[in-house]
Each structure stands twice: as structure tokens, then as C-alpha cells.
Amino acid sequence: MKKLILTTIISFVCIIWITLANDVDCNNAKIDENGHFKFIQLDKYSHILPNEAMEKAYENLRSACCKSWVLNGNQCEGYDSNAIFPESLYLFDHLLDIYLRRLDAKQGDENWWDLIYWLAPDPVWQEWKEFMYEIANDSDGTPPTMINEKYKKFWKWTVYFEKYSNADIQINTAPWLENIENKAQNYVDWTLADRYNNACNIVMMMYIKIIDPVTSWNGQYTDTSAIQAKLLSIYNSCMALVNDRINAERVYTEAIMQQKWSVFLDDTLNAYLNTYFIENKLYSLRDKIFNRCAMFKEVVKSVNKLVKNCS
């Protein structure tokens, strides 16, 4: 008997829409005469987002800016209006979009390249999904302890940061940002729980370090408190999105554990009955019958001898 749980988690990233039209990051998406982004920062955060992923975030920002007519002319050369990208004028949204898509696509799945813009998925996420894919598609049952041990390995939260607040963001060298940037140097060793739970911290850190809203948004707000409130709103929306995604994966894992435990229990009981009842009990009954038959034959032989003696 083979049961497959066809639970498809499609978490196309819900973009954190920002309504004000004047505080945009399109200037950072401008390209030079060679078609390269003028203000892109590669390598610095390549341990978090590979260079091709960072470039895709900038490319999507440029596409959104061109579609909104904030950029035009030579700046929009090669722009494809039919391409799929978040229609946001903020680099934060595009960094978050890329970051979460790499944590949601399993290489080899149908249309995975569309979900992840032909980028490589996060390697830790890929390892976890391959394990879950193998378990889900195996016709045999799996002890829940086995899945639970694997879950604890991947989803143990080991890297913590304080929650972002208004006071943290006065300059781009705030201690909150420096703490994240320093701990993120070991990002390759982070668990899936670390990567998910700290997604908003990581993306906010990269965004502020790259864009520096206090400077680039200067003149669009009357004071920095408005900028701080804006960033806090973005951060809180991001946290709600990520928490929903983490809960979805937990529910999916629990469903797999329950289904595989049911199959495992069924297989175990059948194996027990086959081994204990059919083999042990029936074989034991067969032996007893054979023994009784042998004893009966001996009795018959003895009776025949006694009959002769009596005659």
C-alpha cells in the first residue's frame, strides 16, 4: 500500500507594498554605459546571497522602476515588461523576494526555475527538502523519531537577534546592524531555523547598508523619525510574512510524520502478526501435531505387540 501526501507549499512571496510613491530606490537601479549596475554591492554579502542573486534583485528593481516610468530611455534598455517580478520600487522587497524564494524552491521540482528565477536554491533548504521528498514518496512507513531528529537538526534556532525598533536606526552603523552583520559572517553554518527566523533582520541589514535610507531618503521626510517609522513598518510586515511561512512548513512536517507513523504502525503490526502468529504459532501447532502423530504411531505399534502376546 502506498500513500502519497500531495501537499504542495507554494509560497510565492507576498510583497510588502509601500504606498508612498516618492520615496523610491530606483536611483540605485541605474546602469552604466556597459549595462552594469552603478551602485550594486557584490561579494560583500555573497555568503548570504550569491552575486547572481543580488544582481537579479537589482534587475527586478530596475524592471519595476521602468514599468512605473520612474526610469526610462537608455536605463530601460533590455527591460522585459512580460517578465515576472515584484512591482515594488524598493530594493528591500526585491532582496526579500530573492532571499525567500531560495528558501522555498527544491531543485528538480516542476517549474522550480520559474519560482526561483533560474537561481540556485539555498543548499541547506535543498538538503532538507530532499530528505522530506524521499520520506513523503517512500511507500514504507517511517518512525516519527527519525523525522523528528532530522527536524531538530535543521530547525533548531541557534542565532538570535533583538527585535528591530525605531531607536536602532539612526545611522547605518547602529549597533543592531553591526551585530547582525558580524554574526552573519557565519551564515553558511546557520540552520534553516536561523535563516528563516532571521530573514527580516538579514534583509533589513543588507538594505540599510546598501541604500542608507537616512541619507538617500533625505528631503522626502521632515525628520528621521518618519524614516524610522517607515522602516519599522516594513520590518513588522516582513516578520508576519516569515512567521506564516515557518508555520506552514511545521504543519507540512507534522502531516508527513502522522501519515508515515500510520503506515509504520500498520507495517509493524502486520510484520508482528506474520512473524509471531503465522510463523511461531502455526509452526508450533504443526510441530505439536507431528509429535502427536509420532506418539500415536508408537501407541499403535505397542498395541499390535500386546495383541499378539494375548493370543
Locate the domains of the chain by residue range: 26-263
Highest mean pLDDT among 33-42, 61-70, 204-213: 61-70
pLDDT higher than threshold 90 for residue 304: no
Q: Among 1-5, 40-44, 109-113, 231-235, which is the least confidently predicted range?
A: 1-5
Pick from 151, 155, 156, 153: nearest CA to 254: 151
Q: Is the dihedral of CA 195, 200, 201, 207 positive or negative?
A: positive
At 100 the pLDDT is 93
Mean pLDDT over 183-208 rounds to 93
Q: Are the C-beta atoms of residues 136 and 256 closer than 8 Å to each other?
A: yes
At 55 the pLDDT is 93
At 15 the pLDDT is 41
215 pLDDT band, cuts 50/70/90, is low
User: How far is 234 from 96, CA to CA, in rounded Å?
Assistant: 11
For the record, the C-alpha cell of 284 comes out as: 508450533
Mean pLDDT over 122-142 rounds to 81
Q: Are the C-beta atoms of residues 238 and 16 closer than 8 Å to each other?
A: yes
Task: Show Cβ contacts of residue 46 under 8 Å, excluding neighbours closer than 6 positions.
Answer: 54
Share of the chain above pLDDT 90, in %: 23
* Cα 143 to Cα 8, 146, 260, distances in angstroms: 23, 6, 7
pLDDT higher than threshold 60 for residue 56: yes
Mean pLDDT over 200-223 rounds to 76
For the record, the C-alpha cell of 227 comes out as: 524614516
26 pLDDT band, cuts 50/70/90, is confident
For the record, the C-alpha cell of 228 comes out as: 524610522
Q: Are the C-beta atoms of residues 75 and 30 closer than 8 Å to each other?
A: yes
For residues 59 and 70, which has the higher predicted lDDT (pLDDT)?
59
Q: What is the pLDDT of residues 82-112, one digit of tens each?
A: 888 888 888 999 999 999 999 987 666 666 6
Q: Among 106-115, 144-153, 295-304, which is the least confidently predicted range?
A: 295-304
Helix, strand, coil content of the chain in percent (nearest 5): 65, 0, 35
pLDDT higher than threshold 60 for residue 6: no
At 201 the pLDDT is 92
- The overall average pLDDT reported for the chain is 75
Q: What is the pLDDT of residues 252-273, one digit of tens each?
A: 888 877 776 665 555 555 555 5
Pick from 206, 196, 200, 209: nearest CA to 234: 200
For residues 174 and 280, which has the higher predicted lDDT (pLDDT)?
174
